[in-house]
Amino acid sequence: MEFYSRRARSITPYTAGEQPKSGIYVKLNTNENPYPPSPRVAEAIASFPCENLRRYPNPDADDLRDAIARVEGVSRENVFVSNGSDEALALAFAAFFDDERAACFADVTYSFYEVFAAMFGVKTHVVPLQEDFALDLAAMREAECGGYFIANPNAPTGIVVPAGEMEQFIASVPQKLVVLDEAYTDFSGETCAPLIQKYPNLLVIKTFSKSHSLAGIRCGYAVGAPALIGGLMRMKNSFNSYPVDAVCAAACAASLADTEYHDRTVRLVVEERERLRRALEGLGMTVLPSGSNFLFAGRAAVPAGEIYARLKEEGVLVRYWNRPRISDFCRITVGTPQDDDILLEKLKKILS
């Protein structure tokens, strides 16, 4: 502690979901994909020429940028690649906000935003969600700030702002930057990424961690106007100029190429999400509408904190926050039908 800077002493780090070492848990707490990555990822890694690891990788991961640009229908200059999308989000705080130019976000959203703001000394403006957990875009529009961080679908609620409504919002704040965190967008089927061609104030951030089943590889990206990508590059090159390793870049490009596998596994997760929703509602739980790979469920016969603790005793991990407004909900990742059946069986016992 005595060696810590004032910043290190004052910051409250983000707490990630538990990653238990033993295999006894049905793990539905960190929104990982229940299916393995595309077989093409394994092929790309197995055939990677290891002698190349002697060299530094391309600093901007240009081959992967090109692969992403093709999928998103944009150009290389519109793409920035990062070590997990968390890194792109962090660099966006550093590049576009400061102690005078505030970042605005919801009271209930990805809890990393407030940590990044503290890390980079960014002023914040927090706007409460509405009573039904919908984003209050009207209040956000009026907020005195330099821009926004909006998770869409939101986390941990899963609620989606439809693309049309989001476009109206982006168009209504041309002087402010809108950073859309679309970590779960493949499960809602609605992305705003194509809008970056039309709105120079829009930056869309995506990840390989969720729909591509590659949380372990740590890769994400941002798409936006070249000026915004340039801002992220300035920060990257002032911090870690080679954030994406060569094996990672090859694996992610291979995953992008297998659209058939991606679409199929996304469809399986979405179908299972709706089955799980009906089952949870059947157990008397309130389940928020979700466009993601998780459900926010609670307000049941037993308090959510107790449900979380008793599920854990039974070997099933879900995520719980003892925080205002959301303390009577658990966030449950959609698993395989088999895993979800185990969850449902335990829940039935706990709630009866």
User: In the structure encoding, which two tokens stand for residue 304, read together?
Assistant: 């959510």
Which lies closer to ligand PLP via its Cβ, residue 155 or residue 192?
155
SS3 298: strand
Which lies closer to ligand PLP via its Cβ, residue 29 or residue 85?
85
Alpha carbon distance 203, 211 (integer Å):
20
- What would the x/- binding string for ligand PLP be over residues 112 to 151, using CB under 6 A? ---------------------------------------x
Alpha carbon distance 328, 8 (integer Å):
32
- Rule CB under 6 A: say whether 34 interacts with ligand PLP: no
Each residue of 98-121: b (16+ CB within 10 Å) or e?
eeeebbbbbebbbebbbbbbbbbe
Question: CA 105, 122, 185: angle at the middle one, nearest 5?
Answer: 35
CB atoms within 10 A of CB 87: 24
- Rule CB under 6 A: say whether 183 interacts with ligand PLP: yes
- Choosing from 79, 94, 155, 193, the residue that interacts with ligand PLP (CB under 6 A) is 155
Contact 350, 302 (CB under 8 A): yes
Element (H, E) at 281: helix 259-282
Which of these segments, 71-79, 98-106, 204-212, 327-335, binds ligand PLP (CB under 6 A)? 204-212
Which lies closer to ligand PLP via its Cβ, residue 60 or residue 300?
60
124 beta partners: 103
Element (H, E) at 210: none
Which lies closer to ligand PLP via its Cβ, residue 60 or residue 181?
181
Which lies closer to ligand PLP via its Cβ, residue 166 or residue 350?
166
- Choosing from 80, 97, 105, 110, the residue that interacts with ligand PLP (CB under 6 A) is 110
| Chain CA centroid to CA 139, Å | 23
Alpha carbon distance 189, 178 (integer Å):
20
| Residue type at position 275 | R
Contact 151, 174 (CB under 8 A): no
79 beta partners: 223
- Rule CB under 6 A: say whether 209 interacts with ligand PLP: yes
SS3 329: strand
Which lies closer to ligand PLP via its Cβ, residue 71 or residue 279?
71
Which lies closer to ligand PLP via its Cβ, residue 86 or residue 339?
86
- Choosing from 34, 147, 220, 335, the residue that interacts with ligand PLP (CB under 6 A) is 220
Alpha carbon distance 182, 42 (integer Å):
26
Which lies closer to ligand PLP via its Cβ, residue 84 or residue 146?
84
Q: How far is the CB of 276 from ligand PLP (least distance, A)?
A: 18
- Rule CB under 6 A: say whether 213 interacts with ligand PLP: no
Alpha carbon distance 204, 69 (integer Å):
13
Which lies closer to ligand PLP via its Cβ, residue 178 or residue 350?
178
What letter does residue 136 receive in the DSSP assignment? -
- Choosing from 215, 233, 283, 302, the residue that interacts with ligand PLP (CB under 6 A) is 215
Q: How far is the CB of 220 from ligand PLP (least distance, A)?
A: 4
Residue showing the smallest CB distance to ligand PLP in the complex? 84
Q: How far is the CB of 232 from ligand PLP (least distance, A)?
A: 15
- Rule CB under 6 A: say whether 26 interacts with ligand PLP: no
DSSP string, 17-44: PP--SSTTSEE-SS---SSPPPHHHHHH
Q: How far is the CB of 223 from ligand PLP (least distance, A)?
A: 14
- Choosing from 72, 114, 181, 339, the residue that interacts with ligand PLP (CB under 6 A) is 181
Task: Name residues contacting ligand PLP, limited to 50-89 (CB under 6 A).
Answer: 84-86
Q: How far is the CB of 65 from ligand PLP (least distance, A)?
A: 16
Interface with ligand PLP (CB under 6 A): 31, 84-86, 110, 151, 155, 181, 183, 207, 209-210, 215, 220
